[in-house]
């Protein structure tokens, strides 16, 4: 386990080889990324692959055999090799092994690239290659959590922050229930004909808010007094999870996802999961999201 640092545009990012997890995103000494305080949550920004969320009982069947994956999959639990590096970018690689195939019986290559532009915009890219001889079913997702209040926002509280959208819209979120599964039987109203949502602890009464088809595939988390925060652009990701730990946790995670937890109405066949990506042998799927510090 080691940490790789990249820098550009006045911004520095640090990534741990264990899980290829972003551990710092800072500008001028101001840390925007959650620093994994175990009192609330002991991670920063895990990589989600080959599932997002949970499957029922952590088990499923598949065309290749049994699947046994804990919440958010396996990529976050393994060392990722550094395959290329420059002052402003780094690419990691995780490939299947006998150990991963016992959990997820597929051949794959996952490359995670982290880069900073000259303007200091941070980009995280997922590149999945099917190195096997059968179709590869999977989902990917990011899970970066950001400090709230943001650095430099003296005198602000959690409730002084809001989520801003590209235009007014109306949306109700599906609900996470016991066991981490998702149901559309209970809907959680989030936004009604508005381009913003005020943060509150009650927003997370049902655990994670799952936004779907967000206008412009962009969201801004910003303090209403200071204007400090982050903007996340996530074109190519159908869903955005928004989460904070129970109690008074001083962070909010903004999580671009291509898929989500198993629905209570679904069976336990991995390939049947709603909105799962299925990649033919030899093909590549690549998606990126970016973070701009405000």
What Å distances lie between residue 88 and 6, 27, 91, 113, CA to CA? 5, 14, 11, 11
Which residue in this structure is represented by tokens 């609330």?
A: 40
Mean per-residue pLDDT, 235-239: 98
**249 pLDDT exceeds 90?**
yes
Both tokens of 3, joined, read 């940490």
If one compares 226 and 179, the residue with the highest pLDDT of the two is: 226
Mean per-residue pLDDT, 93-104: 98
**53 pLDDT exceeds 90?**
yes
Average pLDDT, the chain: 97
Per the omega criterion (within 30 degrees of 0), is the bond before 95 cis? no
Query: Which domains are delineated in the chain?
Result: 3-293 (2.70.98.10)
**pLDDT reported for residue 233:** 98
**283 pLDDT exceeds 90?**
yes
User: What is the per-residue pLDDT across 170-197, written as a single tens digit (0 to 9) for each?
Assistant: 999 999 998 899 999 999 999 999 999 9
**pLDDT reported for residue 46:** 98
**1 pLDDT exceeds 90?**
no
**pLDDT reported for residue 178:** 81
**165 pLDDT exceeds 90?**
yes
- Of the pLDDT bands very low, low, confident and very high (cuts 50, 70, 90), residue 241 is very high
**pLDDT reported for residue 188:** 94
């Amino acid at each position: 386990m080691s940490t790789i640092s990249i820098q550009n545009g006045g911004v520095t990012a640090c990534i741990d080889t264990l899980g290829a997890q972003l551990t710092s995103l800072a500008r001028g000494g101001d840390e925007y990324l959650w620093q994994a305080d175990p009192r609330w949550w002991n991670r920063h920004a895990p990589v989600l692959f080959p599932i997002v969320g949970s499957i029922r009982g952590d088990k499923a069947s598949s065309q290749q055999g049994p699947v046994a994956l804990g919440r958010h999959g396996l990529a976050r639990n393994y060392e990722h090799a550094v395959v290329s590096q420059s002052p402003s970018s780094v690419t990691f690689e995780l490939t299947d092994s006998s150990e991963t195939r016992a959990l997820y019986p597929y051949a794959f290559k996952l490359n995670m690239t982290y880069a900073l532009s000259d303007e200091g915009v941070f980009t995280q890219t997922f590149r999945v290659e099917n190195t096997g001889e059968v179709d590869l079913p999977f989902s990917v997702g990011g899970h970066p959590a950001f400090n709230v209040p943001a650095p430099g926002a003296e005198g602000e509280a959690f409730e002084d922050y809001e989520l801003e959208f590209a235009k007014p819209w109306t949306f109700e979120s599906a609900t996470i229930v016991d066991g981490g599964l998702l149901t559309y039987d209970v809907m959680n109203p989030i936004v009604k004909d508005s381009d913003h949502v005020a943060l509150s602890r009650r927003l997370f009464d049902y655990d994670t808010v799952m936004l779907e088809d967000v206008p412009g595939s962009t969201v801004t988390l910003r303090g209403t007094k200071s204007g400090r925060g982050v903007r996340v652009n996530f074109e190519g990701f159908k869903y955005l999870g928004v989460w904070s730990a129970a109690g008074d946790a001083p962070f909010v995670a903004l999580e671009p996802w291509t898929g989500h937890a198993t629905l209570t109405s679904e069976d336990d066949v991995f390939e049947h999961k709603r909105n799962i990506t299925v990649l033919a042998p030899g093909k590549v799927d690549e998606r990126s999201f970016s973070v701009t510090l405000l």
